[in-house]
Structure 1
């Protein structure tokens, strides 16, 4: 029975130690680079969306408290699935925050809206 393995990058035979995975340092480096690109690609996507969300919330909430139609934010590129933290008030409402700008989903007269707020010191308690 043969113990021959092939390199996952170039399919060349792997020679040497039994736990060796790649045929060369070059193929090992290529594999690590591709893995890093996938991992960092996810980070870059999340970071980019958080920056977009923050910019949109900041632009629509100049006063520290605003109410706006949900679709208006969504149309600008806002994605409510990307947020940094949350805060729950005494009534049980959960505000999602993108850094210092928060939003709460509400239904008002059958229209979906967001209540926009800015982080306050008392929220940290």
Structure 2
């Protein structure tokens, strides 16, 4: 039985369990197979990176305050965070890696950095 490359169809020579003729075909095959999943992961990671940069830029002193409108104006997404921290008193902080925010009154947010 003649075996052929799963990506390009070229005849395979060598090991019996070989599936691809080259590293290029193996990588191309797996990249195509994972394209949809990778796009979703890339989009989420890009937004997390953007959120982190926004919080970092607005919080150079590692403690500050900003408005919701300013965060939204810079492209911040409140749907993309990496963790939630609840204090013993029940205060809830939202974090993007080590940069965090605490909702205050009148659509303001306290900005913090976890150390």
TM-score relative to the length of structure 1: 0.65
Q: Secondary structure at the match of 1:103?
A: strand
Q: Give 4+ residue runs of structure 1 displaced > 2 Å after superposition.
A: 24-27, 29-35
Task: Choose the corresponding residue for 1:50, options 48, 51, 63.
Answer: 48
Question: How big is the shift at 1:62?
Answer: 1.2
Question: How big is the shift at 1:25?
Answer: 3.4
Q: Does 1:116 align with 2:114?
A: no
| Structure 1 stretches lacking a partner, 5+ long | 1-23, 121-125
Is the CA contact 2:6–2:29 (under 8 Å) kept in the aligned structure 1?
no
Task: Choose the corresponding residue for 1:66, options 54, 64, 67.
Answer: 64
Task: Choose the corresponding residue for 1:80, options 78, 81, 92.
Answer: 78
Q: Secondary structure at the match of 2:41?
A: helix
Partner of 2:6: 25
More strand by percentage = 1
TM-score relative to the length of structure 2: 0.71
| Structure 2 stretches lacking a partner, 5+ long | 9-25
| Equivalence map 1:6-17=2 (5 Å) | none
Q: Secondary structure at the match of 2:104?
A: strand
Partner of 2:96: 98
Question: How big is the shift at 1:76?
Answer: 0.2
What is the alpha-carbon root mean square deviation over aligned residues? 2.0
